[in-house]
A and B are shown apart, each in its own frame.
Chain A
């Protein structure tokens, strides 16, 4: 019981209990509605299906935390898929080098986004919208619109790699490692603190000596890199360098982060919230298949699930606000009193 309470407190601290409740509610409903839901296979499937979205959404969280947004991630997935395979198949490079070069392309896009936003004062929405088109276009140009096959042997090996006697696909521990590192960076390092400070009040952060522009640029690089990594993962999963994979995924990515409590104004949010957002969305699509919801209704279902999460969160916030109001009232009374005392003292 104690553990439960302290866990709840931890979730309260990071402001995601509403979402957590939504996931539990959906889980309970699902375990009654479908016998297959609460099986280890299905739960692992949900995690496995979450991995790519999770990696990209975590990267997105960094950008949103500094008050930006990155619409280019879907297209970056496509570009990295085409490049990583194409550099081997068409370019004849060794697979390791092609992966490194693909990652560097991601870094270049991230730096370009960051510079445009900080030095040219362009809105992140416009900058990354341009890249959404540009990266997708480059993917088409490089691939000629075709699938590039065959994928290098290395990619096949990863696709078939399983851990714990074929029970656990490697993507799951990989995504967990990325999530843990990101959580640690945001919560425990000075860089993480700077991210929150810049997102919360860029001017104040800058005047406190924090290199705000550099922090913003790095956040954009992290997002682009995570999209490239997501693209490599999807290439492994689908065994093809394709210019169409990942396209249009940016809205789901942003939705996951925002459902997870990341504020689009910046400065608020965390990795745990984003992960829960990812899990909720994946659970919704899992439920659609398990409950055999017909194609015309599946979007309605997803919409209802998101509305449930949002509703629970607002309910929680109301409760918080009420207790906050009480608190503020008390402190106002106090300060009025102390003012009077000061005045009296002066008078005396």
Chain B
């Protein structure tokens, strides 16, 4: 029996295409994987299925009936439940109350404790038999919390469970327990949509897989009919333009990272980066790339290891020291970590340049304006005035201001974390051109990006990370999207 169907679903957000004619179906008693790189459209489809977004066109069928209204309540009523990565239990309520949340049985608003307990027990025994029902939400482990969420869904007679990367914060043993529960649920005729980046997991638990790429439907296969290589090939964009060969001659070593460790986040990271070289950290979201570059810049603490610039150790956890040593850092979260929203364009330009524009501590406004002007021209920043508020600029122009802030310092090493995230096409090209120029002028560039074309276009060398470790290194000649995806999603560690 087909529980759920998505037919030719289209969705745009503010002009940007998120889904372009995707298909999906889920049978009773199957685990169906939804697979694709970051930005492939998995989350958008899930949000449409669970009623948070309405499709622009196309249809969602539940038990063969078209879903009339798009609201979380409607989809909930239709028997669709979402299990989150981080459980959403009420911390100070018992397991019983959490399972029965909002549907406490009773009359005239008086909750019947006995009835609650009975119903909760029945649901919980299907997933975690033997769990103390009086434990409070915050006393549960993440894994238990997740299972309680499943129990809640079962007690609501859900037929479709959406599991969005459910294994991310689980230990191997907890993953095993989850899979066991999933197999039980399969037998009971429940359909499960399983989103995971880990190919091993997909091969272990899933019956079928649907692959999306860049918002488009690529294909649907039975797991037993396909192997890992074929699956990777489906995920990779074959239309990526040929990489124009750029010959850069990397010079002396600028950055050396030695045995960097941060418990639970980074494991034994070592690499080096040379003058005029662009090194890209590739990997999935959550692989530890942002954490790594933040540690290098001193924005976060690390437990052990060493970061050296031109052979000299950089003090831990002190961005101001890193800046003095010649590192520049463009964070991923532009608004939250890059800009001071209350200040003007000029003031944001010179945020990292106060020592240069304020000799002896006195700010020379003429110098500020000069620097703002130079950098604006070099990067084609569009701003009405340097005195207008930074938030009045578009995302791309804001990003250019942040990049300009560092270029004026002439750094030895520039770290860019997702520099083109959320910027328009024009600004993106501008930023790409700029990164290339920087490398040619001898700056060592450390780039974090989740966009495959960007990886291919810019990198001299790629380090692929997975779960806090560097799993492989690819030189430009070895670089291919298949390899990057493969090393980012599978267990084996390739050492060069």
- Which residues of chain A have C-beta atoms less than 8 A from B343's C-beta? 196-197, 200
Q: Residue of A at shortest CB range from B384? A: A331
- Which residues of chain A have C-beta atoms less than 8 A from B350's C-beta? 193
* Interface flag for B286 (CB, 8 Å): no
Beta-carbon contact of A190 and B340 below 8 Å:
no
Q: In the complex, what distance in Å separates the CA atom of A189 from the CA atom of B364?
A: 9
Beta-carbon contact of A189 and B352 below 8 Å:
no
Q: In the complex, what distance in Å separates the CA atom of A328 from the CA atom of B389?
A: 12
- Chain B, residues 165-194, CB within 8 Å of chain A (1/0): the string is 000000000000000000000000000000
Most chain A CB atoms below 10 A, which of B329, B338, B354, B425 = B354
**A278 to B: closest C-beta gap in Å:** 23
- Which residues of chain B have C-beta atoms less than 8 A from A193's C-beta? 347, 350, 354, 358, 363
Pick from B336, B340, B352, B392: contact of A196, CB below 8 A: B340
Beta-carbon contact of A342 and B426 below 8 Å:
yes
- Which residues of chain A have C-beta atoms less than 8 A from B424's C-beta? 339, 342
Q: Residue of B at shortest CB range from A335? A: B394
* Interface flag for B494 (CB, 8 Å): no
Q: Residue of A at shortest CB range from B392? A: A331
Beta-carbon contact of A190 and B358 below 8 Å:
yes
Q: How large is the interface on B (under 10, 10 to 19, 20 to 34, 35 or more residues)?
A: 35 or more
- Chain B, residues 346-361, CB within 8 Å of chain A (1/0): the string is 0100111011011001
Beta-carbon contact of A207 and B297 below 8 Å:
yes
**A205 to B: closest C-beta gap in Å:** 7
- Which residues of chain B have C-beta atoms less than 8 A from A210's C-beta? 320, 351-352, 354
- Which residues of chain A have C-beta atoms less than 8 A from B351's C-beta? 197, 204-205, 208, 210
Pick from B338, B355, B426: contact of A204, CB below 8 A: B338
Q: How many A-B residue pairs have CB under 8 A?
A: 89
Q: Residue of A at shortest CB range from B359? A: A190
**B392 to A: closest C-beta gap in Å:** 7
- Which residues of chain B have C-beta atoms less than 8 A from A197's C-beta? 340, 343, 347, 351
Beta-carbon contact of B331 and A207 below 8 Å:
yes
**B221 to A: closest C-beta gap in Å:** 33
Beta-carbon contact of A201 and B340 below 8 Å:
yes
* Interface flag for A74 (CB, 8 Å): no
Pick from A189, A192, A196, A201: contact of B339, CB below 8 A: A201
Pick from A188, A192, A267: contact of B342, CB below 8 A: A267
> Given contacts A188-B363, A209-B322, are A342 and B425 in contact (CB under 8 A)?
yes
Beta-carbon contact of A188 and B347 below 8 Å:
no
A-B contact pairs, 23 of them (CB 8 A): A189-B363, A190-B354, A190-B361, A190-B363, A193-B358, A193-B363, A196-B343, A197-B340, A197-B351, A201-B342, A204-B336, A204-B338, A207-B319, A207-B331, A208-B323, A208-B351, A208-B352, A209-B322, A209-B323, A268-B342, A331-B392, A339-B15, A346-B425
Residues of B within 8 A of A (CB): 15, 297, 299, 319-320, 322-324, 329, 331, 336-343, 347, 350-352, 354-355, 357-358, 361-363, 392, 394, 405, 424-426
Residues of A within 8 A of B (CB): 188-194, 196-197, 200-201, 203-211, 267-268, 327-328, 331, 335, 339, 342, 346
